[in-house]
C-alpha cells in the first residue's frame, strides 16, 4: 500500500504494515454505525461495499471519504488502492475480522468505502430549472432494498435520466440497496424524500407523461405510445400503488401477463417497463 | 380445522385440537430433511412454503402430499385448508416453533406443503415428440436460486411454453427458488438435468431459434427479429455463458445498455429478453 507522507502523518492506523484489528477502534465504530439509517442521516455518510461499488465511487470522484481494505483485497485490486491514494482518500488496512464486522454480507469482499451522500435536490435531478428529462423512474412506497437497488440498476442500464425515491420509499443508502444497484447509485442523479404529489407535479410541468405501473392498469405496455418523455411510477410489491397515486398519474399501465403468473416481481416489471420506453424512444 | 373421518383415523397427530409441537416428531423430521437437495432427490419430494405456493400446488392438483399449517394460518386461509381436505391431503396443525423449524424464511407464513416433484422429461416439456413450442427459457449454469425462481416467474408471465434447467444449474426445488417463482413452478412444464448440448439440439430440431443472452453479444435485442419460435439461454450472473455454449447458439444477443451500468441483473435481463420475444410474437 502506498500512502502519501501527509496521510502518513495523520493516519497512523493506516500506515503500511499496521492493520486495524480492534473492532472497538473509534474508526471502525464510526464506520460500523453507518449500517443504521439514523446514523447515516446524522453523519451524512454511507457505506459502499465490494470492488464494483468502490470502483464506481472512485470514478465519480469527490465522494469517497475513507477506504477499508484487507491485505488480500489490496493485492487483488491494486488499481483501486492506487486510485484512492491519488484522490487523497485515506486507505485503512483492516483485518478479516474487522471487515466482517463492517460488512453486511455473508462473504465480505474485503473492500468497503465510506462515502458522502450523493443524492441531489429534486430539481437538480431533473436537470435544473429548465431540465427536460426523457426517462425517469419514480419509486413510491418501494420497501425492499434489494428491489430498489435492482430498479436503480435497470434504470441506469435503460438510460434513464434520474431516479426519484419518494418520501415513503426505502433508503437508497441501505447496504442491500447499494449492493443491488451495482454501482448505479453513483451513475445517475438520485433525489430522495419528495412527496409523490410534488414529484409528479414537477414531472408533468416538464412535459413528461407520468405512467403508474400497476397490475390493475386498463392499458398494457403494448397499447401505449412510449416514444415521448416518460416518468414511470413503481410501487410496493405486495400491494401495488395506492388509489391517490394512481389518480395522479396520466395513465395506469400494466405489464401484460400471457401465462398463469399472477404478477411479476417488482424489479422485473420495472425493467420491462423502462426498456419498453428506452426502445420506443430510440427504435423508429 | 375440518378433517374427514378417514384422515381422523389415520392421522392422529393432525386431529382437531392436537398440534405438532415436537420438533423431533418423525413427521417433522421427514419434512425438515427436504430442505437438503440430496434428501429431496432421495425422497422425490420438496417443500412449497407460504399461501401463494400452497394455493398453486393445490390448483395444479395431485402434487400436494401433506400440508402443515399453524392455527393462525388455518384461520387466515380457510379456503386452502378446505381445498386440501377435499383433495384428501392430510393437514397437520403445527405450532409456531415447529413451523419455524420447517420454514426457510425469517418470517414463516404458517403454511407449508410437502409436494411430489413436478418436473417432466425434456421431450414432454417441449410438448411431446411432435411438440413445437414458441418460447422456451433455458437456464444454463444459473447458480443463484432467487434468480432462477425469478426467471421462472418471468417466463411464466411472458407466456413461455417451458423452462429447462440444464445439468449445471441450481435445483428448482431449492426453497428460495420455489419462493421466488411465486407459484410458477406449478404453472408451466419444467425439465431438469439435461446437458446444454442435448437441450439445444432438441430445440433446434423443433425449429426454434436458439439465442444466447450474453453481454458480449454482437447483436442487441433491438436488432434481431424475434417474431419466430425462440429459445433463450441464460447463464451465470458472474461470468455469463461459456464459449462452447455461445458457439452452439444460433446467435448471441445482448440487452443494449444505454446508460453507464456495466450489465443487468440476470433475472432482469431474462425478463427483458422474454418480454421482447412475447411482444414480437404477438404485436404486429
Strands (E), A101-250: 111-116, 135-139, 162-166, 190-194, 209-213, 219-220, 230-234
Integer Rg of chain A from CA? 21
Residue B225 and residue B137 share a domain: yes
Of B92, B116, B140, which marks where a domain is finished? Answer: B116
Q: Residue A27: which domain range?
A: 5-116
Q: Which residues of A touch B105 (CB under 8 A)?
A: none
Q: Which residues of B touch A215 (CB under 8 A)?
A: none
* ipTM metric: 0.90
B61 in contact with A, Cβ within 8 Å = no
Residue B49 and residue B16 share a domain: yes
What's B171's DSSP letter? P
Grid cell listed for B228? 419466430
What whole-number distance in Å separates Cα of residue A175 and Cα of residue A148? 11
Query: How far does the CA of residue B14 sit from the closest CA of chain A (Å)?
Result: 32
pLDDT > 90? residue A66 = yes
Cβ distance of A259 and B156 shorter than 8 Å: yes
**Which of A:17-56 have CB within 8 Å of B?**
52
Residue B271 and residue B169 share a domain: yes
Strands (E), A140-260: 162-166, 190-194, 209-213, 219-220, 230-234, 251-254
Residue B142 and residue B68 share a domain: no
CATH of the domain at B69: 3.30.1330.30
Cβ distance of A154 and B188 shorter than 8 Å: no
**Which of B:173-232 have CB within 8 Å of A?**
180, 182-184, 187-188, 221-222
User: Which of A184, A265, A267 is opposite residue B261, by nearest beta carbon?
Assistant: A184
pLDDT band at A266 (very low <50, low <70, confident <90, very high): very high
β-partners of residue B252 are B212
Residue A150 and residue A59 share a domain: no
* A82 in Cβ contact with A2 (< 8 Å): yes
Which helix (H) or strand (E) covers residue B190, if one does?
strand B190-194
Q: Count how many domains chain A has.
A: 2
User: Which of A253, A256, A247 has its CA nearest to residue A225?
Assistant: A253
For position B2, what pLDDT does the model report? 45
Residue A142 and residue A61 share a domain: no
Residue B108 and residue B156 share a domain: no
CA-based nearest residue in chain A for residue B280: A222
Can you tell me the mean pLDDT for A101-108?
A: 85
Helix/strand/coil for B165: strand
* B188 in Cβ contact with B123 (< 8 Å): no
Cβ distance of A264 and B183 shorter than 8 Å: no
Residue A63 and residue A192 share a domain: no
Residue B241 and residue B199 share a domain: yes
What whole-number distance in Å separates Cα of residue A44 and Cα of residue A37? 10
Q: Which residues of B touch A183 (CB under 8 A)?
A: 261-262
* A170 in Cβ contact with A177 (< 8 Å): yes
Torsions phi, psi of A166, nearest 5? -75, 175
Residue A126 and residue A89 share a domain: no
**Which of B:154-173 have CB within 8 Å of A?**
154-160
Mean pLDDT over all residues of chain A? 91
Residue A18 and residue A140 share a domain: no
Helix/strand/coil for A146: helix
Cβ distance of B260 and A188 shorter than 8 Å: yes
Of A87, A116, A145, which marks where a domain is finished? Answer: A116
Strand-by-strand arrangement of the B91-93 sheet: B45-49, B111-116, B64-69, B91-93
User: Which of B155, B264, B276 is opposite residue A157, by nearest beta carbon?
Assistant: B264
pLDDT tens-place values along chain B, 284 residues long: 444 444 443 344 444 458 888 888 999 999 999 999 999 999 999 999 999 999 999 999 999 999 999 999 999 999 999 999 999 999 999 999 999 989 988 788 999 999 999 999 999 999 999 999 999 999 998 999 999 999 999 999 999 999 999 988 999 999 999 999 999 999 999 999 999 999 999 999 999 999 999 998 989 999 999 999 999 999 987 777 889 899 999 999 999 999 999 999 999 999 999 999 999 999 87
CATH of the domain at A152: 3.40.1280.10
Contacts of A167 (CB under 8 A, 6+ apart): A193, A194, A195, A196
Cell 386452502 -> residue = B80
For position B107, what pLDDT does the model report? 82
Helix/strand/coil for B195: coil
Can you tell me the mean pLDDT for A180-204?
A: 96
Residue B139 and residue B93 share a domain: no
Of A81, A97, A116, which marks where a domain is finished? Answer: A116
What whole-number distance in Å separates Cα of residue A145 and Cα of residue B183? 23
Q: Which residues of B touch A57 (CB under 8 A)?
A: none
Amino acid at each position: 500500500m502506498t500512502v502519501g507522507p501527509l496521510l502518513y502523518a495523520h493516519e497512523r492506523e493506516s500506515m503500511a504494515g499496521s492493520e486495524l484489528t480492534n473492532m472497538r477502534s473509534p474508526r471502525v465504530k464510526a464506520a460500523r454505525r453507518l449500517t443504521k439509517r439514523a446514523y447515516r442521516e446524522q453523519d451524512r455518510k454511507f457505506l459502499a461495499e465490494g470492488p464494483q461499488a468502490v470502483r464506481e465511487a472512485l470514478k465519480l470522484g469527490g465522494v469517497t471519504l475513507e477506504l477499508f481494505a484487507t491485505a488480500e483485497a489490496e493485492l487483488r485490486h491494486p488499481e483501486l488502492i492506487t486510485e484512492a491514494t491519488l484522490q487523497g482518500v485515506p486507505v485503512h488496512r483492516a483485518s478479516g475480522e474487522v471487515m466482517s464486522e463492517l460488512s453486511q454480507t455473508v462473504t465480505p469482499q474485503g473492500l468497503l468505502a465510506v462515502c458522502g451522500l450523493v443524492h441531489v435536490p429534486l430539481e437538480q435531478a431533473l436537470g435544473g430549472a429548465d431540465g427536460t428529462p426523457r426517462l425517469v423512474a419514480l419509486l413510491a412506497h418501494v420497501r425492499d432494498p434489494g428491489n430498489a437497488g435492482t430498479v436503480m440498476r435497470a434504470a441506469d442500464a435503460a438510460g434513464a435520466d434520474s431516479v426519484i425515491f419518494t418520501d415513503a420509499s426505502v433508503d437508497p443508502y441501505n447496504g442491500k440497496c447499494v449492493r443491488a444497484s451495482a454501482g448505479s447509485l453513483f451513475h445517475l442523479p438520485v433525489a430522495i424524500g419528495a412527496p409523490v404529489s410534488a414529484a409528479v407535479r414537477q414531472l408533468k410541468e416538464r412535459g413528461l407523461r407520468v405512467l403508474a405501473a400497476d397490475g390493475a392498469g386498463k392499458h398494457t405496455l403494448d397499447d401505449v405510445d412510449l416514444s415521448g418523455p416518460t416518468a414511470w411510477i413503481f410501487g410496493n410489491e405486495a400491494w401495488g400503488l395506492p388509489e391517490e397515486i394512481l389518480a395522479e398519474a396520466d395513465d395506469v399501465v400494466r405489464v401484460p401477463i400471457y401465462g398463469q403468473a399472477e404478477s411479476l416481481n417488482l424489479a422485473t416489471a420495472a425493467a420491462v417497463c423502462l426498456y419498453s420506453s428506452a426502445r420506443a424512444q430510440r427504435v423508429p
